[in-house]
Amino acid sequence: MRRARLKRRGRTTCYHVLSRVVDRRFIFGGHEKNVFCAIMRGAAGFYGVNILTYCLMSNHFHMLVEVPYRDYSAISDQEFEARLKCLYRADEVRAVVTMLNGCRQAGRDEAAENLKRRFTYRMGDVSEFMKSVKLRFSHWYNSRNNREGTLWQERFRSVLVEDGNALLTMAAYIDLNAVRGGIVSDAKDYRYCGYGAATAGDKDAQCGLRRILAKNENARRPNWRESSKRYRLHVYHEGRVRHNARGDVVRPGYSKEEIKKVVEEGGRLSRGDILLCRVRYFSDGMAIGGQAFVDDVFQEFRVLFNAKDQIRPQEMKYGEWNGLCAAHHLGKNVVSVPA
């Protein structure tokens, strides 16, 4: 099932997408991450998707993407040109716009619309967006490193995420990647994630987190000053233990061994604790949200599953998830502690 191609008509849909480098090679340094971010933002402008948050690691990346439902077949020539400028070189945009204006001036409106459709059919599609980002980065990376061949291990994984509590939880999971990986002790210090970029003043990153909070509270988007406080409280209410250079504890919390022991004993962890682990629900769950949301997703796309599939909402275990469910039962190894 190609989950990222699901289009829920009349609805805004959110996805968590994950992709890894082939053989999990550590290719993303600081320059590579900056280039990837630029490509990601440009593609988002063309495809009409909103990057709510993200995290770029050394050998993989996460994105939380919002795809508003819209009919792009009727966009104006002015908007069409503006979207082209987000993704294509200036000479390429000029060539397309010249052809478009020529058709208009000659009264060939149908030809003009057909020209636009060669581009607009891809807009509003998270699969096309991801394909473009990965392909463009691969071309840049291979050219820079005199390299040939595929750069990515697999297509990419995607999970549908419900607005509200599920979306906020997923955002925190993504922004805590660098903390879980031991790169930084505070997510705001990692510049290659949505929260770190927003704290550093990136307006696009701030807008993404504000959208998450607005969806969670079903209210107008708060300003960044207020949003930053609320989001930080959510992400860092609880965390792992921190030590100083002498080995003294400077911030109480759970060690990796303590977290693992509680999980193995079937204990109930707080959301803050469990988000410091790797949680398969967030990459393999197909859809995450309330029971009604997960069941609705399955029923809406029932035709895409095998006839024998009996997928039903399964309450998420090993944590205080406030009623969140996933569409797949993932077995016992749902949670693991990073090495």
Domain contains 85: yes
Q: Give the helix, strand, coil percentages of the chain, each rounded to 5.
A: 50, 15, 35
Q: The domain containing residue 89 runs over which residues?
A: 72-120
Is 116 inside a domain boundary? Answer: yes
Q: What is the pLDDT of residues 219-266, one digit of tens each?
A: 566 788 788 877 876 675 434 555 667 777 554 344 556 555 555 655
What's the CA gap between 65 and 52, in Å, rounded? 6
Tell whether 157 is covered by a domain.
no
pLDDT tens-digit readout, 190-226: 989 998 898 888 899 999 999 998 887 665 667 887 8
Domain count, the chain: 1
- Residue type (1 letter), 217: E
What pTM was estimated for this model as a whole? 0.78
Q: What percent of the chain has pLDDT over 70?
A: 76
Residue 112 resides in a domain: yes
Note whether residue 267 is domain-resident: no
Q: How confident is the prediction for the chain on average, in pLDDT?
A: 81
pLDDT of amino acid 205: 94
In a domain, 100, yes or no: yes
| Residue at 19 is within a domain | no
- The vertex-13 CA angle with 311 and 116, nearest 5°, equals 125
Provide DSSP, 297-330. HHHHTGGGS-TT-----EE--SS--TT-EESS--
As a whole number of angstroms, the distance between CA 227 and CA 211 comes to 10
pLDDT at residue 12, as a whole number: 81
pLDDT band at 277 (very low <50, low <70, confident <90, very high): low
The distance in angstroms from the start CA to the end CA of the chain is 31
Residue 244 inside a domain? The answer is no
Question: How many angstroms separate the CA atoms of 178 and 182, rounded?
Answer: 6
Distance, CA of 146 to CA of 131 (rounded, Å): 22
Give the model confidence (pLDDT) of 138-167 as tens digits.
999 999 999 988 899 878 888 889 988 889
Task: Count the Cβ atoms, other than its own, within 10 Å of residue 165.
Answer: 18
Report whether 69 contacts 8 (CB < 8 A): yes
Determine the pLDDT at residue 10: 53
